[in-house]
């Protein structure tokens, strides 16, 4: 993913808009369901199996899962993708050594997580995005705000400003935006810890909370000295 691919950026924004459209309803369902969601859960013997002969050891996220687990993966994938796009912009623009290091660490950590979550959705028989599961929805611009619907996401205007910045201006802007972005991811991960059922998904959510909370603290310290 690069910031210089308008078609890819439009696809990412469209996916975020569709996901955010269903997110509110899904989170409300998860929050209100409690034990009642047990009836909606999909065990390893259901369509969660990629093939009839698949064993627990072959499943990327073995065990039962629920709608909250699916929505967590579908939302976090485009969220991580934007973090990668932001981090790639640091190459040739960032001046601060610690900003460069953190950008590289974000790329290293989040790209594999994207692939991991995609593998869950495939094994669960679910689409990678809510957009794919809502064929009747108009996927055009539709007047929807593609940047602000999901917690912590940057708007297209934000991304253009970041792309245009260099040196200390970029460092400060990158730190401020990534703090907001990370806090959004932490919120989604905490929701998964509370409402999700799949142990593997909840473990990744816990890792997101731990890792990105630590990075938020580092970015805040960087801002204090810039």
Is 0.85 topped by the overall pTM?
A: no
Region 165-186 average pLDDT: 97
Pairwise CA distance, residues 147 & 149, whole Å = 6
Name the residue among 29, 11, 12, 59 with its Cα closest to residue 201: 59
The pLDDT-based confidence of 150 (bands split at 50, 70, 90) is: confident
* CATH superfamily ID and name for 6-33+73-225: Ferritin, core subunit, four-helix bundle (1.20.1260.10)
pLDDT tens digits along 94-135? 999 999 999 999 999 999 999 999 999 999 999 998 766 554
Pairwise CA distance, residues 168 & 174, whole Å = 10
Average pLDDT of the chain is 78
Pairwise CA distance, residues 205 & 146, whole Å = 24
pLDDT tens digits along 23-63? 444 444 444 444 444 434 444 333 333 333 334 446 899 99
150: left (phi over 0), alpha (psi -120 to 50) or beta: beta
């Amino acid at each position: 993913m690069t910031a210089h691919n308008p078609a890819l950026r439009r696809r990412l924004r469209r996916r975020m808009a569709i996901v955010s459209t269903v997110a509110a309803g899904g989170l409300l369902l998860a929050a209100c369901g409690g034990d009642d969601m047990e009836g909606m859960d999909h065990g390893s013997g259901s369509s969660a199996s990629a093939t009839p002969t698949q064993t627990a050891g072959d499943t990327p996220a073995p065990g039962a899962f629920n709608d909250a687990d699916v929505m967590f993966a579908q939302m976090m994938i485009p969220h991580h993708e934007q973090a990668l796009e932001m981090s790639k912009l640091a190459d040739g623009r960032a001046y601060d050594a610690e900003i460069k290091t953190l950008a590289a660490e974000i790329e290293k950590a989040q790209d594999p997580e994207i692939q991991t979550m995609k593998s869950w959705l495939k094994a669960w028989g679910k689409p990678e995005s809510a957009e794919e599961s809502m064929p009747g929805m108009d996927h055009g611009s539709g007047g929807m705000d593609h940047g602000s619907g999901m917690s912590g996401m940057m708007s297209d205007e934000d991304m253009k400003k970041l792309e245009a910045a260099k040196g200390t201006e970029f460092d400060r802007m990158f730190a401020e935006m990534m703090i907001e972005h990370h806090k959004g991811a932490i919120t989604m991960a905490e929701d998964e810890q509370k409402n999700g059922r799949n142990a593997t998904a909840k473990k990744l959510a816990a890792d997101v909370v731990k890792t990105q909370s630590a990075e938020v603290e580092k970015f805040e310290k960087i801002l204090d000295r810039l």
